Structure 1
């Protein structure tokens, strides 16, 4: 991108803070200028994804061409293990591309996704988050691109892992059009096992929430008319 990304000038973290403090989460539409959001969407469509999943209690990142070449019997076994794990435990399957790893390795392309990573770790964004949350510990942000296709999901979890120093989770959504009945909702669970709130993956919107907080991404329906494209990660302390 020829110009550095900026947050929408209409966002005032001081005015948004009471809602965040009350609920521990917030949905912010119109986070970028529309032309920038369109460029990010195009970059996410073209990103070199791999398959990210858990099976039999283990996590795997598998190249898409490797997965496509897998014998049918082995592929069926893998799919059965994924579905079985989803019945009772933490389980996921979606496409991912670890933007933070690429940036930390110095593998820049000068494109829109580089710009997103730079913005997330800029003084402007970190100041926005610190003001919104009243939390001066916010030091840096990691990021990965994700693509959920029909059948993909992420079961309930709270993001709280010892040693990871996760303070807040975020999702930046870039699917131009999405219907709630297509699934792919960021769903928050209450102590009674109900969905207390759920966010549709609205184009050019930021979802941010406090860690720990029980949540899931509901399975994308077989009839979904688009792919759920996003950039997601955590805001961390050192």
Structure 2
């Protein structure tokens, strides 16, 4: 599934130097295209909002009703609204067995893939990969946070971007923030790229613009030094 022509040498060096990197052309082209189609057409999405149980994905009418309150809460501190499909939970519960997306989690936790990420990061203790599918529609966002989690032994966060033809002014970029709240860097969600960064790191996903013509689609998660409980 990983691009056979991928040379990780310079990406490993960049990751070691600054703690973040984006790797273009990460998957084989046909695998990236098929996963993108699955995310776009087949995944039964739910909408996640901080502090609330997941709900069926917002329709435009529900979004008009719910988003003003979400923005009010976001003005007060950390908040998020985006669509997701929790692969680990779905696999445990046996949901949607026909979904192509379910090939991802076993592949990510196969020994060849684990060896690959150990080589890329130089971290021999990486032992498990979690995954969820994510979708950001116009108006959805994820405010600044650092992904720290004491119970899950997170070492690196990743975003496998599967949005085709994303434009920079559509929003939805992965932004990195310094300790003083200043802007450090941003990654465009380029199709079939892997955005990777060492945890903890302050970051956010910019609000997707109302004129964006595509959803921001990705598979995201963490590389762990031990399997999550």
Matched residues in 1 for 2:96 and 2:72: separation? 39
Counterpart of 2:173 in structure 1 is 185
Worse-superposed segment, 80-89 or 93-102: 80-89
Q: Is the 8 A contact 1:97 1:144 kept in 2?
A: yes
Q: Is the 8 A contact 2:171 2:209 kept in 1?
A: yes
Matched residues in 2 for 1:222 and 1:108: separation? 31
Counterpart of 2:36 in structure 1 is 41
Counterpart of 2:146 in structure 1 is 158
Matched residues in 2 for 1:63 and 1:112: separation? 21
Worse-superposed segment, 225-234 or 114-123: 114-123
Q: Secondary structure at the match of 2:53?
A: strand
Question: CA RMSD for the aligned pairs?
Answer: 2.0
Matched residues in 1 for 2:170 and 2:220: separation? 20
Counterpart of 2:48 in structure 1 is 52
Q: Secondary structure at the match of 2:74?
A: helix
State the 1:129 CA deviation: 1.1
State the 1:218 CA deviation: 0.2
Counterpart of 1:12 in structure 2 is 7
Q: Which runs of 5+ in 1 are unaligned?
A: 1-5
Aligned residues: 225
TM-score w.r.t. the length of structure 1 is 0.87
Q: Secondary structure at the match of 2:5?
A: coil
TM-score w.r.t. the length of structure 2 is 0.91
Matched residues in 1 for 2:96 and 2:169: separation? 37
For residue 24 of structure 1, the aligned residue among 19, 26, 40 is 19
Q: Is the 8 A contact 1:13 1:129 kept in 2?
A: no
Worse-superposed segment, 119-128 or 92-101: 119-128
Q: Is the 8 A contact 2:11 2:23 kept in 1?
A: no
Matched residues in 1 for 2:134 and 2:28: separation? 21
1:132-211 matches, within 5 Å, as 132-211=120-199
State the 1:90 CA deviation: 1.0
